Amino acid sequence: MSTSVLKSKIKAGVIGFTLIALVPTTAWADATDDIVRAGVQRGKSAVASQNRINKISEDTEKVISKYHQQRKSVEVLKKFNDRLRRTLQAQEVAMAKLERSIEDASLIERQIVPLMLRMISGLESFIEADIPFKLDERKARVQRIKGYLTNANIAAAERFRQVLDAYATENTYGKTVDVYTEELDLDGSKRTVNILQVGRAGLYYQTIDGTESGFWDKGDKQWKILDVAHNEGISQAIRISVGKAPKDLMTLPIAAPEKI
């Protein structure tokens, strides 16, 4: 065999070996790529799965948070409703009491009006029987209250207050000393005099010039002239009462107490 033929055979063998060696390397590379691609795909799938898990977790937390908020709102509403229920119950009780009070007030008003009429009538009779001081003022007060008692626009409480005030005023007269000017019919003629009212113990008059004095006789129910000796005592009492003289004892004639 020649040398050139031998070299050709050797060269062909080397190339064949090389081809044989290259075939498995390419297959392995393809397998490796498949593995890598599979790994990458699995990684992407894992990331996608994790993202979905994260999204589900976030949505779950939102749902839980909303649930807690709604639960708190429900608790607040329950407390509000419970308080409102108690308020309504209290109002119902108050309304029931008010209705009873209105009924009672109507009953009391029906009962109190006749009472007030009797009271003012009794006061009118008392004034007529009392010593005659400030008669115009006292009678006018009684007539005014009578008008109140028949006026439906005035509340019963106000009418009753007016009656009680009239009684209180009459009661005060018995504790006070007062002086005022009045025109009296004396001996058939009108004369302007000073009137000295000492509670209900005594009622006196004195002419403006101080020359004549008199008193109201409860038994005879008329004015009677006093002895001139009493003029100074009554004048002094008048001056004390109007503040023109310092306070001092008053020397006045007083009728003896009536026998019971």
The tens digit of pLDDT for each residue in 158-207 reads 998 999 999 999 999 999 999 999 999 888 888 999 999 999 989 999 99
Closest among 212, 207, 177, 185 to 194, alpha carbons compared: 207
Q: Which residues of the chain have pLDDT under 70?
A: 1-31, 98, 102-107, 255-260
Per-residue pLDDT at 235: 94
* Residue 237 burial (10 A CB sphere; 0-12, 13-18, 19+): buried
Overall pTM surpassing 0.75 (yes/no): no
Per-residue pLDDT at 17: 44
Per-residue pLDDT at 2: 54
Per-residue pLDDT at 168: 95
* Residue 141 burial (10 A CB sphere; 0-12, 13-18, 19+): buried
Q: Which residue has the tokens 């599979």?
A: 38
Structural domain boundaries in the chain: 71-173, 176-253
